[in-house]
Structure 1
Amino acid sequence: MKKGFLIGIIGIVMLYLGCERKVIVVPPTTTPSPQFEKALPSEKAKAPPGEETLQPVKYPGIEGEVWRTPLLKTIYFDFDKYDLRPDARKTLEENAKVLRENPTWKILIEGHCDERGSNEYNLALGERRARAAMEYLVQLGIDPSRLSIVSYGEERPVDPRHCEEAWAQNRRCEFVVVER
């Protein structure tokens, strides 16, 4: 009896330890090209329009500094979808304008999902959402070497509640500056 109980406990512990969550990081599809433009002395002193809005944040798994800015807006998705809604396209057009005004910024596009669905499914869906946002920014003229994507699936909810209102907030892509 004790052996059966002990084997059951060991099995449960092994199952628990085997349920590690994964994060998929997809590198940019092209290699960055160096920029050789020289700024005039008066231009060096003047910061680009978005620089003063950058707020440093710590990211596990990302070395170096990462910044958030209110200038790069979050986009949202419908349930189980990765196609861009009209409001998301408008927001991405505004984000593209900010990126054109700050040509040295490199952006990480984070794909997120709500808690419904398996972890693997949500990681894949988050990646498709981030890729859709990246492809639209490239269509708008943003150099793909400035963009990279990551999927966090359901791992980083903005709203931890279990209701439609929370799920709608968690189905999103966020934008962070990884190099400036």
Structure 2
Amino acid sequence: MAKLKTALIIATMAVAVAGCQKKRPETLPPGPGPVDPGPGPGPGGGGEAQPGTAEHFRQNVVSDTINFDFDQYDIDARARQILDSQARWLTTYGNTRITIEGHADERGTREYNLALGDRRANAAKNYLAARGVSPARITTISYGKERPLALGSDEASWAQNRRAVTIVIN
């Protein structure tokens, strides 16, 4: 009797499962065709960014980053070249606001590196202002050693982390 009940339960389950199976349609829908990615970032899709945007800034200046020597915040010849290209771009796009981030390497106390990062960001701001960029368009912030670009405790890493970075806001 127990075997009969078990057989009936199994048969009932088999019928139920068979009724739940999906039937294959006679004709399948077409597969995905070629994907049209649409136009690129700029007019005509040629990879040019929209003028006045952060991406356009990065494409049209020498660099968005200047670097500093150990424990320094003076603007050297290479930094002047970079900041001059930024000043030209910022003069062309007069409504664009920027933030200059000051950074330091891992050596020194947190407080010291925050102050050094602030001096670096303000040195870049003052240079841009001297080149005709309104200081009202520039904000500064110091991250000290809190946001390293390169991880490592060697001169190559430290050199990358001693920097000021210009970020376009709008």
* TM-score category, normalised to shorter length: 0.5 to 0.7
**1:156 maps to 2:156:** no
**1:103 Cα deviation after fit:** 1.2
More strand by share: 1
**1:52 Cα deviation after fit:** 7.5
More helix by share: 2
For the pair shown, the structure with the greater C-alpha radius of gyration is 2
The aligned counterpart of 1:88 is: 79
Q: Which runs of 5+ in 2 are unaligned?
A: 1-48
Percent of matched pairs sharing the same residue: 47
Query: CA separation in 2, counterparts of 1:118 and 1:171?
Result: 15
Query: CA separation in 1, counterparts of 2:55 and 2:117?
Result: 27
The aligned counterpart of 1:107 is: 98
The 1:122/1:51 distance shift into structure 2, 3 A limit, reads: same
The aligned counterpart of 1:139 is: 130
**1:69 maps to 2:79:** no
SS in 1 for 2:101: strand
Two-structure CA RMSD over aligned residues (Å):
1.9
SS in 2 for 1:135: helix
TM-score of the aligned structures, taking structure 1 as reference length: 0.62
Pairing 1:13-92 to 2, within 5 Å after superposition:
49-51=51-53, 53=55, 69-70=58-59, 71=61, 73-92=64-83
Query: CA separation in 2, counterparts of 1:146 and 1:52?
Result: 15
Q: Which runs of 5+ in 1 are unaligned?
A: 1-46, 55-67
The aligned counterpart of 2:32 is: none
**1:51 Cα deviation after fit:** 2.7
**1:53 Cα deviation after fit:** 2.1
Count of aligned pairs: 120
| Partners of 1:48 and 1:101 within 8 A in 2 | no
Q: Which has the higher contact order (CA 8 A, sep 6+)?
A: 1
